[in-house]
Amino acid sequence: MAAAPSDETSLQSLINKATSPLNKETDWDNIKAFCDKLDNESDGPQLATRLLAHKIQSPQEWEAMQALLVLETCMKNCGNKFHGEVGKFRFLNELIKVVSPKYLGSRALEPVKAKVLEIMYSWTVWYPDEAKIAEAYQMLKKQGIVKQDPVLPGDKPLPPPPPRVKSAIFEDEEKSKTLSRLLKSTHPDDLRAANKLIKEMVQEVSGSVRKVQDTNSGFDFC
């Protein structure tokens, strides 16, 4: 009897299918399977980020762009353990290599570099607790790699209100479940519905201020 494939082999097979340059359209089935697999394995997040970094650095634009879509989808649908792995210097350095002229930036394609910067900026908005992401992005600004903040796609929901704000609306279990379901969806209609719901929630909470702390630790590639 053949041995069961290891977690890494299984994830490798899924990411190869999800990012194949031969794909004619987005392979949502294998993207979802990849996200589910990494979220259900103890070492899944660490293995997944290593595999994703390799694909994102591909010289083939379609393969790299598909890998970035997989990364975005996993960030939206996987848990804090994956977020924490993405927020480590080890992985962030691999992303920065794509846009830095010291590494791959001089030969990486512009759409890929633009997408890397867009998702890094979006993470500073969506995941302010991952301080190293904000630090990495600010460093790219200081180096002149980021000229101005990217404009995020309009059909993405607004960031959720600050969790520390206490209001009856945030304690509405039904609305919380609805919002959670909508935010996990990849369909534009659901994302627009989530955006509308968040706006309604924000309007009922006054004086909310989001504070993002800046840190001063460095990156090993500088």
pLDDT score of 83 more than 90:
yes
Mean pLDDT taken over the chain: 81
Tell me what the mean pLDDT of segment 40-49 comes to: 94
Closest CA to 182 of 206, 208, 200, 203: 200
pLDDT at 172: 60
pLDDT score of 175 more than 90:
no
pLDDT at 50: 96
What pLDDT, in 10s, does the model give residues 96-128? 999 999 899 889 999 999 999 999 999 999 998
Mutual angle of helices 7-18 and 28-40, in 10-degree steps: 160
pLDDT band, residue 195 (cuts 50/70/90): confident
pLDDT score of 179 more than 80:
no
Q: Give the integer Cα–Cα distance in Å for 164 and 209.
A: 10
Q: Give the integer Cα–Cα distance in Å for 193 and 200.
A: 11
CB contact at 8 A, 105 and 98: yes
pLDDT at 178: 75
The full set of domains in the chain, from first to last, is 8-143 (1.25.40.90), 173-213 (1.20.5.170)
SS3 of 35-78: the string is HHHHHHCCCHHHHHHHHHHHHHCCCCHHHHHHHHHHHHHHHHHC
pLDDT at 168: 46
Q: Give the integer Cα–Cα distance in Å for 189 and 48.
A: 29
Range in 2-16, 55-69, 74-88 with the lowest mean pLDDT: 2-16
Range in 9-23, 26-40, 128-142, 205-219 with the lowest mean pLDDT: 205-219
